[in-house]
């Protein structure tokens, strides 16, 4: 009776995909709960919402004059072009800031569904187990819940892998092309392709029934079985995406800056970059994500012990997982790729092991004593992690809820819009405040934002001068520097910049024209004098 019911369920499920719907709705509920709050955990969320609004108006920005002291006014590249296009329906249907949150829930849920789809397509055993593990990793849940493009980018990576493995060349070309327009992480597709093909080539050489001498002798000979055409289509698609692009050719220099200067090396030892670019201490990573770290260690050990049984797929995902683990130790934001890569690696590694169990292993597993020992160990470990999961989920929720309110700098921005000339430059003391200011007020221009590297690379001396002013280290000629050198008539800062405010008051050349619970605005006295608003002093 039980077997008949199971067969019936499997038949119905194969026809209506109930398991796919279940995975999607589990992810949707979880990410919906995480996003259920009037905050945005990452300042760039405001920027993405504003760019989607601008795009919904039919505009494609070729210049970006809102950041006057960076190289972006003349060399702007929207490397999130397709991502912003995908956000357009959501900012049209909802309030833009609510819309990007709704989109983020959907994109993250689709990523989880895509991983499950990949497991099913490659007949990985127990796919739901691995997907549920992914949905308990606090650092990844936090990163996946940010208004950013990596979730969609990872879906592209999964689809590219599927097309490469099944030799769907046209689809692979189109995916590679679109990946360039989507987001700046497109090189990962190229890295995955090269890894897959090299592994394929080496395994084909190794598994040939020849002597070691012949294997060494023939190792540099191309094998016709290896789908080398895949590399051609990926490179062709990526190249086409770079060239057939509204930002060509300045996008080439921009991507070098983004990938090499910011992502791989960055200037964290010279300037204060975003917190996501700083290293993830390995002990903190273990404390924050013990389950994924345990899964990585166990999968690597199982892979090594059963290396002859492992497929090209486990080799490829394993190398990518280890590579992004190393990158995560260098820049904590890479946990958004490291975590799903590890889950996929584990899925393929365990699947290869289960598929090719030797008779001896089967006898050991069927042995009552070994079953008892293994079962107790599994239960013990499982209970430890199960009791820890609610705390991990609540921690991710807490991080997201402690972000910036949707109305962040809205009142100060409204004051500037109503009381300052159009395109008047505002000296924003925090580069990370720019996205919220830009969203609520594109009437004014600002000095720096998005990443301090853009300002530093344009003029390192001026960047240091800017930093010294914001820290309250500059006393002499403050008015001249701000008004003449930086071309700004207004200075905006939060309540933590009390040393800066002290210098502004001391100079006597600035007047406070606005203050609320979030921000203060000072105006240069020689500029047209504005009376303080009702909320000012």
Q: Total domain count for the chain?
A: 2
Q: How much is the pLDDT for 370?
A: 54
Task: For residue 530, name the pLDDT band (cuts at 50, 70, 90).
Answer: very low
Does 431 or 371 have the greater pLDDT score?
Answer: 431
Provide the whole-model pTM.
0.89
Region of poorest pLDDT, from 276-285, 317-326, 400-409, 427-436: 276-285
| Average pLDDT rounded to a whole number, residues 266-290 | 84
Structure tokens that stand for 204 in this block:
């084909």
In 3-state terms, what secondary structure has residue 243?
helix
**Do 17 and 126 form a contact (C-beta atoms < 8 A)?**
no
CB 153 within 8 A of CB 216: no
> What pLDDT is stored for residue 392 in this prediction?
86
User: Is 277 among the domain residues?
Assistant: no
Residue 111 lies in a domain: yes
User: Per-residue pLDDT for 359 more than 70?
Assistant: no
Q: What backbone phi and psi angles, to 5 degrees, belong to 513?
A: -115, -10
For residues 289-304, average pLDDT: 92
Domain range for 10: 1-147
On whether residue 445 sits in a domain, the answer given is yes
CA dihedral of residues 194, 196, 201, 205 (deg, nearest 10): 140
Q: Tell me what pLDDT residue 388 has.
A: 75
pLDDT band at 259 (very low <50, low <70, confident <90, very high): confident
Residue 484 φ then ψ, to 5°:
-90, -45
Neighbours of 220 (CB within 10 A): 8
Question: Does residue 27 fall inside a structural domain?
Answer: yes
Q: Is the pLDDT of residue 301 over 60?
A: yes
In a domain, 383, yes or no: no
Distance from C-alpha of 432 to C-alpha of 449, rounded to nearest angstrom:
6
- Residue 23 within a domain: yes
According to DSSP H, which parts of 244-289 are helical?
250-256, 282-288
Taking the C-alpha atoms of residue 382 and residue 389, their distance in angstroms, rounded to an integer, is 10
Q: Which of 121, 147, 173 is the last residue of a domain?
A: 147
> Which of 98, 122, 147 is the last residue in one of the domains?
147
User: Could you tell me if residue 229 is inside a domain?
Assistant: no
How far apart CA 174 and CA 158 sit, in angstroms, is 14
User: For the residues 351-380, what does the mean pLDDT come to?
Assistant: 63
Residue 526, pLDDT score: 73
- For residue 405, what are the contacts with CB-CB under 8 A and spacing of at least 6? 38, 39
Peptide bond into 249 cis (omega under 30): yes
Give per-residue pLDDT as tens, 220-243.
555 557 788 999 999 999 999 999
Q: Is residue 2's pLDDT more than 80? A: no
Average pLDDT, the chain: 88
In a domain, 423, yes or no: yes
- Residue 26 burial class via C-beta count within 10 angstroms: exposed 0-12, middle 13-18, buried 19 and up: middle
pLDDT of residue 536: 45
Closest CA to 229 of 286, 187, 168, 293: 168
- Residue 270 has a pLDDT of 75
Predicted confidence band at 245 (pLDDT cuts at 50, 70, 90)? very high
Last residue of a domain, one of 94, 121, 147: 147
Q: What is the pLDDT of residue 383?
A: 63
């Amino acid at each position: 009776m039980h077997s008949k019911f199971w067969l019936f369920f499997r038949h119905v499920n194969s026809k209506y995909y109930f398991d796919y719907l279940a995975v999607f709705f589990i992810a949707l509920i979880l990410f919906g709960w995480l996003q259920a709050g009037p905050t945005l955990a990452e300042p760039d969320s405001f920027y993405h919402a504003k760019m989607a609004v601008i795009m919904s108006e039919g505009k494609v920005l070729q210049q970006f004059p809102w950041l006057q002291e960076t190289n972006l006014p003349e060399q702007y590249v929207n490397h999130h072009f397709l991502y912003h296009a995908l956000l357009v329906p959501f900012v049209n249907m909802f309030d833009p800031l609510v819309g990007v949150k709704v989109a983020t829930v959907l994109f993250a849920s689709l990523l989880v569904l895509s991983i499950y789809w990949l497991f099913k397509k490659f007949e990985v055993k127990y796919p739901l187990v691995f997907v549920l593990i992914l949905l308990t990793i606090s650092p990844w849940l936090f990163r996946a819940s940010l208004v950013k493009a990596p979730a969609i980018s990872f879906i592209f990576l999964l689809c590219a892998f599927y097309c490469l493995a099944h030799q769907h060349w046209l689809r692979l070309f189109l995916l590679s092309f679109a990946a360039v327009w989507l987001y700046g992480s497109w090189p990962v597709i190229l890295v995955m392709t090269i890894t897959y093909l090299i592994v394929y080539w080496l395994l084909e050489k190794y598994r040939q029934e020849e002597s070691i001498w012949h294997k060494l002798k023939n190792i540099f000979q191309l094998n016709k079985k290896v789908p080398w055409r895949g590399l051609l289509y990926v490179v062709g698609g990526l190249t086409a995406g770079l060239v057939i692009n509204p930002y060509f050719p300045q996008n080439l220099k921009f991507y070098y800056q983004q990938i090499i200067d910011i992502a791989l090396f960055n200037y964290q030892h010279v300037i204060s970059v975003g917190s996501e670019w700083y290293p993830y201490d390995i002990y903190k990573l273990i404390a924050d994500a013990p389950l994924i770290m345990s899964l990585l260690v166990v999968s690597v050990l199982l892979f090594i012990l059963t290396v002859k049984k492992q497929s090209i797929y486990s080799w490829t995902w394993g190398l990518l997982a280890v590579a992004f683990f190393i990158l995560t130790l260098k820049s904590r934001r890479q946990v958004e790729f490291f975590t799903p890569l590890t889950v996929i690696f584990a899925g393929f590694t365990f699947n290869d092991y289960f598929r090719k169990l030797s008779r001896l292993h089967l006898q050991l597993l069927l042995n009552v004593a070994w079953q008892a020992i293994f079962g107790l160990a599994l239960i013990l470990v499982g209970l430890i992690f199960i009791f820890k999961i609610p705390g991990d989920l609540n921690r991710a929720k807490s991080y997201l809820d402690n972000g910036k309110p949707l109305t962040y700098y809205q009142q100060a921005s409204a004051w500037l819009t109503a009381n300052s000339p159009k395109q008047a430059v505002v000296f924003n003391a925090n580069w990370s405040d720019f996205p919220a200011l830009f969203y609520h007020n594109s009437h004014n221009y600002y000095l720096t934002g998005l990443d301090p590297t853009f300002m530093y690379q344009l003029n390192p001396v001026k960047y240091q001068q800017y930093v010294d002013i914001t820290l309250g280290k500059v006393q002499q000629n403050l008015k001249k520097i701000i008004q003449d050198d930086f071309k700004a008539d207004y200075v905006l800062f939060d309540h933590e910049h009390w040393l800066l405010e002290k210098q502004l008051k001391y100079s006597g050349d600035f007047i406070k024209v606005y203050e609320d619970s979030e921000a203060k605005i000072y105006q240069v006295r020689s500029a047209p004098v504005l009376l303080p608003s009702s909320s000012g002093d």
